[in-house]
Structure 1
Amino acid sequence: MIDNETNTLNINLFPTVTTLWSQKKLLDNFYTIGELINNTFQPDDDKRAEFFKSLNLIIIYNGNHSSNVALYENNNHIENFNTYDISHWFQEIYYDPKTNTLNHLTCGKTLKPNPLFHENLGYIYEISRLLFQNQIS
């Protein structure tokens, strides 16, 4: 959840996507970050995220490798994040798993960019859309 007192986002409470591009960097972070070596994950200006409130999804776009390591520890949070509510999309946009795209319900046109970088994002979107439409929180 978002801690309103400290304005931080706990990355362990929601599905979190980090885009990793270096296996070496990830392994190095496992050796240099963590409670076992008395160097816990530090939220700082380098770590940035987008929180899609209506999806309960966090996408980390800076500090990916260290944030990924932090997911293995408890009580980890990010201070620099933007919050988005895309629930207004749920009446007009659906996920098509055959094309891995988000499309308009009425005209069928695909939203850009297409396709999604991972199909699981589409499944999360569609589950969130169905929960929202059925007023299940």
Structure 2
Amino acid sequence: MTKFTPNINVKYTIRDQLSKFKNNKKFNTYLHAVNDIINDKETTKQEKINGLNHIIKHLSLSIENQLIEDLLSNFQEFPEPTNDLLNFPTTLRPKEISFKKQIKISIHSTPIITFPWRRERLLKNLQLIGELANNPFKPNENHCYNIYVFPLNLVLIENGHHSTATALLENNTEITIDHYIDLSILYDSIYFNGTYFKNTHYHAKISPKYKEFGIIFEIGRLLNENNLNIIPQDIK
């Protein structure tokens, strides 16, 4: 079984983040919401996890919607799938590790980003896949190189981008993952300040294309810090 070890050397607490980045309204809005959920004395640990997962999924759907809108408006299309969410320096980016077996996860309860990249292919899949077309999405074992990102409970699609984007709209099936990446080891050296990812040691900075991913990254830090890690049962 795969074991994820919580990072106990967390540099930035919720209070640190709220005070340090108080001028970033959107970032602060989500951190306040996460703080309220974590400190709610009337809910159980599992209920807190459920609420935080909903916030992460909301943010992942925001990224997904931007990706699809960009693709539909770009008639030149993208030359290839572009997963630039994890554009950390090679020396810092954790390695992708294979699970011992392929794992199925629910598409309706897991935050997923599909990275569609060909407009024509997306439009064709939107027409051909779905209950109204009498052709529900069927996970293809050849489309299984998908990455689970801990502690974000986020799945990044690496194969089957367009069919999975359509399945995400149908919201009633499963997909397969077979690799994972553990970002918690970055929390000692990287943080998101609402605008940039910054390196605490070298003062380098990276501007993410989608600020929502930076917010998800910091929510993952707080999940880890508070032992509220969202890990599907099959991969604990």
Q: Is the 8 A contact 1:90 1:132 kept in 2?
A: no
Displacement of 1:133: 2.0
- 1:9 is paired with a residue whose SS is strand
2:126 alignment partner in structure 1: 30
Could you report, residue by residue, the CA deviation over 1:25-80 in whole angstroms, capped at 9, with x for unpaired residues? 22211111112222111111135311102111111122111101001224422224
- 1:48 is paired with a residue whose SS is coil
1:127 is aligned to 2:219: yes
Larger Rg, first or second structure (1 or 2): 2
Q: Distance in 1 between matches of 2:121 and 2:102?
A: 30
Identity %: 32
Q: Is the 8 A contact 1:50 1:84 kept in 2?
A: yes
Q: Distance in 1 between matches of 2:143 and 2:226?
A: 38
1:71 is aligned to 2:163: no
Q: Which amino acid aligns with 2:215?
A: Y
Displacement of 1:18: 1.6
TM-score, normalisation: structure 2? 0.48
How many residues matched?
129
Larger helix percent: 2
Q: Which has the higher contact order (CA 8 A, sep 6+)?
A: 2
1:109 is aligned to 2:201: no
Larger strand percent: 1
Gaps of 5+ in 2: 1-100, 230-236
Q: Distance in 2 between matches of 1:6 and 1:80?
A: 6
Q: Distance in 2 between matches of 1:64 and 1:34?
A: 15
Q: Which amino acid aligns with 1:82?
A: H
Displacement of 1:17: 1.1
